[in-house]
Amino acid sequence: MKDTFKHKGLRQKLVNVLKTKGITDINVLNAIGNIPRHLFMDSGFLDHAYQDKAFPIAADQTISQPYTVAFQSELLQVKKGDKVLEIGTGSGYQTAVLCELGAKVFSIERQQELFKKTSNFLPKLGYRAKKLIFGDGYKGLADEAPFDSVIVTAGAPFVPKPLLSQLKIGGRLVIPVGDDVQIMTMFTRKGQKEFSQEEFGEFRFVPLLEDKN
Ligand code: SAH
């Protein structure tokens, strides 16, 4: 678990790449500049950790591309102390970004292998989510609702209703919607039954699957 000057240098370069691609939120850029992404990846990919690319992790899943993580994080506009629900813990990299932004993070993962690995790993780096849950993200987390924001980090074939109903008024759901290709979509809760919807272009994610495994 080493983080060297070389890693820090590569990270700064990655931050600069994200700036040239249009990420402007300084808190998000700082978070990415702080988090040792190489430690979230399997050893075979260490050399690639600071390229702006997605890579395989355990259980046939991927750690999202840094640009995608930054883009979704920017849309959430996290304020310190916000209660944030993440669907798809995976490697825990996005969870770490949310922790760096000062959020109280609740994160759900449906693959037991990843859930165990990441639950064990994140605290070692000092990232303490409020709760990591082994479960089905389609259902959200009614016990802890309402949330300031919800972020889905897998491609959703449709928008799960519980994720909308578990938002505070003024809260945001950022979710990539679609089958092979997804449209990054943000819903803002305007009232009990009113939501506004904005779209932010195409992304590609592994699929949001039903039930746990
Ligand atoms: N945020 C992760 C991205 C991992 S890829 C990271 O930064 O590494 C998407 C993750 O969503 C995978 O780990 C996958 O197992 C998980 N996933 C898919 N469907 C899910 C569901 N219904 N509920 C919870 N997690 C799910």
Can you tell me which atom of ligand 1 is nearest the CA of 210? 22
In order of 114, 130, 164, the CA distances from 169 in angstroms are 32, 22, 10
Check residue 46 and give its pLDDT: 74
Query: Could you confirm whether 119 is annotated as catalytic?
Result: no
Check residue 2 and give its pLDDT: 87
| pLDDT of residue 1 exceeding 80 | no
Check residue 150 and give its pLDDT: 98
Check residue 20 and give its pLDDT: 98
Confidence of residue 80 (pLDDT cuts 50, 70, 90): very high
Going from the Cα of 163 to the center of ligand 1, the distance in angstroms, rounded, reads 15
| pTM across the whole model | 0.97
**Residues with Cβ within 6 A of ligand 1?**
61-64, 87-88, 90-91, 93-94, 108-111, 114, 136-138, 153-154, 206, 208-209
pLDDT, tens digit (0-9, with 9 covering 90-100), for 115-151: 999 999 999 999 999 999 999 999 999 999 999 999 9
Mean pLDDT on 89-110: 98
Can you tell me which atom of ligand 1 is nearest the CA of 63? 8
Confidence of residue 204 (pLDDT cuts 50, 70, 90): very high
Check residue 45 and give its pLDDT: 73
